[in-house]
Structure 1
């Protein structure tokens, strides 16, 4: 359970143990570190750390463009502030998965293995910083009181476990609206990042007809591009939030990967 709160520069993070973390969680867009609590509760004995991304949860928001390289550097900053432990397994969802991929590609000294849950595929080209705006659905949620946000989540995703709804709803109210006053730069191709990642990679994805971003065909492209050990798992009856839509299967795949790539083996 996430309980021990810490601060590194503008970033807030939470961990389950005073000792060095073994597994680090990076959340998706508009979520927060606390959204990982239901998953972390199901991993007894695993020392974990979860980070609030800039502009999310209780983290601050530097006045600079929003880029995946910034999310990467934020995660590296927190991990560099932790005791040396031989590298961690980084688990990311969506925005957090792409940040995890950037981190694994550039900082192999920090990352022992990486789990990417339905990351964006990215796009080729030299991307520029561009203006963006708050999604209408987020503005509507932020305008609601917490009980009404929870009720909206339950209505939209009736298959989610009950313990997912409150942290999800709380996180939407924590998103800093000034995030959208800054410019945004989209990610480069996921396949190019995988070509630079030498540690083991687990790609978890759901059904594209339920909102998943990764198709089986693209997962195969990722497998062909990967420089190191790579395994893709399609979890049916799940969309973009695989860990919420089909938690039992997600936990089975995650636990098996963590057992196979136990960070304790590095010490």
Structure 2
């Protein structure tokens, strides 16, 4: 099912997106589609080589600044349920649901299976679940600062909107961009608008659902046989993965595994240090 929520004129892999306000901006995504409740975007008509899964409160559009730095890579990005332009099923939020969402979209795409999946935070944990359970779909995985998960049996718990997100959503777009610039002055300018737009797109009904915490990341890595690249920053700057935990991940991994520490970066590693992130990612993709 193809869709066009705004009129678009395509030129190669670049699309001029227009709205009622006139010409807005150039986007990398020349093909837009929907599978079930999920919105997805591809750089062109060809089968994608790399799929991108975003983190909590972001959207697929947040990957555009990075994808622009990957010339020649055919990319697919997916809006997670309740984010971007995707719908929100009325059921508890679990990582296996995010996994199944990604599998549904990947299974609907052209190509004969086997794609590199890059995920950030929530999307990284979804990517790990996907790689563990669907090796037919995933040939390698990149995990950007995933949550470590929690040990023991996890139950669906009430979930409320974080105050920082509620505060951002109360602002208009220019004010959200300004807040992002104040919070992270070292981010490249092209990161700020998609980050700010995505915050207003989070479906508030998401927080009326119940949430189930992920199990330990190390348990998932023990089930993943394809190559894994783990990228993390400094815990004192907000990274979820410490050097000690990265070593535990290496010991638990069933397949080829490499952990990269990006000094000075926090939870959004690619935004805090795009050059090093790109260098590590392109080296991994070239292999």
Q: Deviations over 1:144-190 (max 9, x none)?
A: 00000000000000000000000000000000000000000000000
Deviation track 1:62-115 (CA, whole Å, cap 9, x = no partner) reads: 000000000000000000001233400000000000000000000000000000
> 1:47, CA displacement in angstroms?
0.4
Name the CA distance, whole Å, in 2 between partners of 1:31 and 1:89.
Answer: 20
Which of 111, 124, 137 does residue 151 from structure 2 map onto? 124
Matched, 1:63 2:90: yes
For residues 33-60 of structure 1, give each alpha carbon's deviation from its aligned partner in whole angstroms, at most 9, with x where no partner exists: 0000000000111100000000000000
- 1:101 is aligned, of 128, 153, 158, to 128
1:8 maps to what in 2?
Answer: 35
* Aligned pair partner of 1:238 in 258, 265, 278: 265
Q: Of residues 44, 59, 65 in structure 2, which corresponds to 1:32?
A: 59
Q: Does 1:210 align with 2:237?
A: yes
* Match among 5, 14, 18 for residue 45 of structure 2: 18
Structure 1 contact 2–40 (Cα < 8 Å) conserved: no
Match of 2:17 in 1: none
The answer to whether structure 1 residue 163 and structure 2 residue 161 are counterparts is no
CA RMSD between the two structures: 0.6
Structure having the higher helix fraction is 1
- Supply the distance in 1 between the matched residues of 2:198 and 2:227 (Cα, whole angstroms): 30
The normalised TM-score by structure 1 is 0.97
TM superposition shift of 1:3: 3.2
SS in 2 for 1:66: coil
- CA distance in structure 1 between the partners assigned to 2:30 and 2:238 by the alignment: 32
Alignment partners' CA distance in 1, 2:146 and 2:84: 20
Q: 1:74 aligns with which of 95, 101, 105?
A: 101
How many residues are paired up?
260
> TM-score normalized by structure 2?
0.90
- 2:156 is aligned with 1:91: no
Larger radius of gyration: 2
Distance across 2 between alignment mates of 1:172 and 1:148: 12
Residue segments in structure 1 that go unaligned for 5+ positions in a row: 261-267
**Runs of at least 5 residues in structure 2 that lack an aligned partner in the other structure:** 1-27
- For residues 181 and 29 of structure 2, the distance between their equivalents in structure 1, rounded to whole angstroms, comes to 23
The 2-side partners of 1:105 and 1:84 are apart by 21
Cα separation, 1, equivalents of 2:36 and 2:89? 10
Shift of 1:2: 2.1
The answer to which structure, 1 or 2, has the higher relative contact order (CA under 8 A, 6+ apart) is 1
